[in-house]
Amino acid sequence: MSDLRGRRVALLSDSLLERLLDPLAAEGFGVIQLPPDGLDNATVAAWLEQVAEHVEEFQRTGYEVVLVSDGRHDEALAPLGLAQYAIQPPSTSRLTPET
Amino acid sequence: MKRVALIAHCLINQNAKVEGGALTPAVWAPVVEMLREHGWVIRQMPCPELAFAGARRFWGVYEQYDTPLFRRHCRRLAKLIAAVVAQEVGEGDELVLIGIDSSPTMGVDHTCSSPTWGGEPNIGPQDDSALVEGRGIFVAEVHAELRERGLPIPRSTGIRHWFPGYDAAEEHARLQELLR
C-alpha cells in the first residue's frame, strides 16, 4: 500500500500556524502545533511534554524534525536539539512593477 | 469569543499515521480549508498512538489497544485536552472536536474492530476486521475526563477518508453542519 508521508515534521509556533501551515505543507512538512498564548503554566508544560514525546519518536525513527518558532518556547525545547527552520520571506514578485 | 476546533493530530501531520495510512505528505487539506472558511482556530490534539506504540507500529484494532496501560496513557493526554477545554469554556469560546472515524483511538462515531487480530502481523485473507459504531479509546477517555470535570462535551464528528467508498461530498456536508 502506498504511503505519501513526507517524513518531515515542523514544530510550529501557534502565532505562525495560520501563515506558515500551507508553505510548510507544500514542502512536505507535517506540523506539530506549539501551545498558544493564554494557557496556564501547567497546561503549557503538559503540552510541551507530549510534544517532546512525539519529537523523540520521530527523531528515533529517522524523520527530519525542525523548529519554526517565534522564540516563545525555545528554552523548553532546547534539549531536543532541533534545527531552526529558515522562514522564507514573502515573495516580492507581485510588488515588482511591470516594465 | 473564539471558535476553537480540537482536531486529530494527523489532520495536520500525516507523519503520525500508521505506516500505509498517510494519504498526503503533510496535511489533510479539506478540513483545514473548511475550518478557515468558517473562522475556527486550530488546536491540534496529541496522537495517542505515536509516542506509545511508535512510528513503526503495526496496524491495530480497538481490542488490541484497549489495555489498562494504554487507557492510562490516553487519560493522561486527555487531561491536557480537558485543561484546554476548561480554559476556552471559561472564556466563552465555542468548541468542536474532529477525530478520525475508523481509528481505534481517534474514532468519534466509528472505530475498527476484530475479535481475532493478534500474533503474526500478516493477517492475510483471514482478516475479519470491520468498521463498527463506537468511539475510539482516546476520544472516549477525553469524554470521560470532561464529564468528571463537569465540562461540556464538544460537538464532534470524525473524518472518514479511510472508509471503503469514501464519500467526500457527504463528509463536506457533515463538516458544514458541524462548523457553520
Q: Is residue A7 part of a domain?
A: no
Residue A47 to residues A42, A71, B65, B162, Cα–Cα distance (Å): 9, 16, 23, 28
Q: Is residue A70 part of a domain?
A: yes
- Encode pLDDT of B50-107 as tens digits: 999 999 999 999 999 999 999 999 999 999 999 999 999 999 999 999 999 999 999 9
Q: Taking residues B20-40, what's their average pLDDT?
A: 97
Phi, psi of B113 (to 5 degrees): -140, 145
Containing structural domain, residue A57: 15-87
Here the cell at position B157 is 464528528
pLDDT of residue B24: 96
Short-list B54, B50, B149, B136, CA closest to B97? B136
At residue A99 the predicted structure's pLDDT band, cuts being 50, 70 and 90, is very low
Nearest CA distance, B89 vs chain A (angstrom):
12
- Encode pLDDT of A1-40 as tens digits: 689 999 999 999 999 999 999 999 999 999 999 999 999 9
Q: Is the dihedral of CA B37, B38, B39, B45 positive or negative?
A: negative
Share of chain A above pLDDT 90, in %: 83
Short-list A20, A42, A18, CA closest to B5? A18
Q: Which of A17, A25, A57 sits opposite B50 (nearest CB)?
A: A57
Q: Is residue A98 part of a domain?
A: no
Q: Is residue A81 part of a domain?
A: yes
ipTM above 0.90, yes or no: yes
At residue A86 the predicted structure's pLDDT band, cuts being 50, 70 and 90, is confident
Euclidean distance between CA atoms A21 and A95, whole angstroms:
23
Q: Which of B13, B22, B51 sits opposite A4 (nearest CB)?
A: B22
Q: Residue A93: is its pLDDT beyond 80?
A: no
Chain A / chain B CB contacts < 8 angstroms = 101
pLDDT of residue B178: 97
Using a 10 angstrom Cβ sphere, with 0-12 exposed, 13-18 middle and 19 or more buried, the burial of residue B83 is: buried
Q: Which amino acid is at A8?
A: R
C-alpha dihedral (B30, A66, B48, B50), degrees to nearest 10: 110
CB pair distance less than 8 Å for B14 and A47: no
Q: Is residue A94 part of a domain?
A: no
Q: Residue A90: is its pLDDT beyond 80?
A: no
Q: Taking residues A65-78, what's their average pLDDT?
A: 97
pTM of the model: 0.93
Q: Taking residues B31-58, what's their average pLDDT?
A: 97
At residue B39 the predicted structure's pLDDT band, cuts being 50, 70 and 90, is very high
Q: Any idea where the domains of chain B sit in the sequence?
A: 3-179
Q: Is residue A3 part of a domain?
A: no
Q: Which of A3, A42, A60 sits opposite B19 (nearest CB)?
A: A3
What is the DSSP secondary-structure string of chain B?
A: --EEEEE-GGGS-GGGSPTT--SSSS--HHHHHHHHHTTPEEEEPP-TTHHHH-TTPPP--HHHH--HHHHHHHHHHHHHHHHHHHHHHHTT-EEEEEEETT-TTT-SSEEEE-SS--SSS--GGG---EEEES--HHHHHHHHHHHHTTPPPPEEEEE-TTSTT--HHHHHHHHHHHH-
- Encode pLDDT of B129-164 as tens digits: 999 999 999 999 999 999 999 999 999 999 999 999
